[in-house]
Chain A
Amino acid sequence: MSDTAEILEQAARWREAGKGVALATVVNTWGSSPRPLGSKLAVDSDGAFVGSVSGGCVEGSVVTEALETIRDGKPRLLDFGVTNEQAWEVGLACGGKIEIFVERVE
């Protein structure tokens, strides 16, 4: 089974179990970014997550936004890069830039 399929299967299981679920997907990259387009993170309403959208640099921040999306249902488009103001906390060490789309699984 592919990486993506495993993440989606987990999202489906969480939904089945009655949990809120959000998916975060890399939709754009610039420069040297660690993960290709389509790389995914599934997050449940308890903050558990599977998959990855970077080399581990921004996952924490993405999970926080995903929990917001589970709560309010609004999709979010997140930008991460070394130019980010919070570079020390959630920047990409590789010097690349990524855009991540976060959506609730309805």
Chain B
Amino acid sequence: MKGRFLDAVLAAGHQHRSVALATELKGGGQLLLDGDRLEGELALDEAALGAMREALRADRNRTFDTAAGRVFVEVFSPPRRCFVVGAVHIAQPLVQILSLADYQPIVIDPRQSFATEARFPGLELSTEWPDEALERLKPDHRSAVVTLTHDPKLDDPALAVALRSECFYIGALGSKRTHAARCGRLKEMGFTDTDLARIHGPIGLSIGAVSPAEIAVSILGQMTQILRRGEKSEAA
């Protein structure tokens, strides 16, 4: 890898941007795709460039044959983000295992006594209202949104923004009864049953989790399942 490509890949990561690097597997010639910009000495035809753009969009590494030889396309993406609404007890182990699993956790709670540096050292914290914070931070298809407050004033607006986004996972803490009431309120806000089916509530895999750390494991387990196998896998 050219040093300048190494630097470019690292810089893109710091700026929360995805880039793709194609490497020809015999000579090692390389081409970097950054947004619409191409840089490097490897000459790829339109078909190969199309496959490279597709890999970048789909966030998926692949190796394939091109007119220029066999090429490996690697997508370098910033960490997926997980927005945790509610700086509550469960959020503390949750942000730790999220970090281990390569997520960037962002904790949102307008109650300033909860969202403190002492409780969440070194983490991105927001004390905005959850809907304001999410509208600013814009969850995308590489984001998850988890609500943990049990408080409709805080959870509902966050869920509304999440439902209007492309985020791949939405989970809401609360019993079946709490969740039914929550869905009722969200329906009044104009969301359909199809929309509401995106919310995992009660949150997490059913593994009998009791302690905050166990609940965090069940949440990350479910998030991983949806990320890797898609929504339909859940019924299985």
Contacts and interface: CB of A to CB of B under 8 A. Distances in A.
Given A27-B72, A101-B25, A103-B28, A5 B13 contact: yes
A37 B2 CA distance: 20
B149 interface: no
A1 interface: yes
Interface centre among B6, B7, B13 (most CB of A within 10 A): B6
B10 interface: yes
Contacts, number: 63
Contacts of B77: 2
A96 interface: no
A98 to B, nearest CB: 11
A75 B30 CA distance: 12
B81 to A, nearest CB: 12
Contacts of B23: 27, 101, 103
A97 B165 CA distance: 40
Majority DSSP secondary structure for residues of A touching B: mixed
B24 to A, nearest CB: 9
A75 B6 contact: no
A37 B62 contact: yes
A13 B85 CA distance: 36
Interface in B65-86: 72, 74-79
Contacts of B26: 75, 77
Which 5 A/B pairs are nearest by Cβ-Cβ distance?
A75-B28, A37-B61, A27-B72, A38-B61, A2-B102
Interface of A: 1-5, 8-9, 11-12, 15, 23, 25, 27-28, 36-38, 75, 77, 99, 101, 103, 105-106
Given A1-B13, A2-B79, A11-B6, 14 more contacts: A1-B79, A8-B6, A8-B10, A12-B6, A12-B7, A25-B74, A27-B25, A36-B61, A38-B75, A75-B27, A101-B23, A101-B72, A103-B23, A103-B28
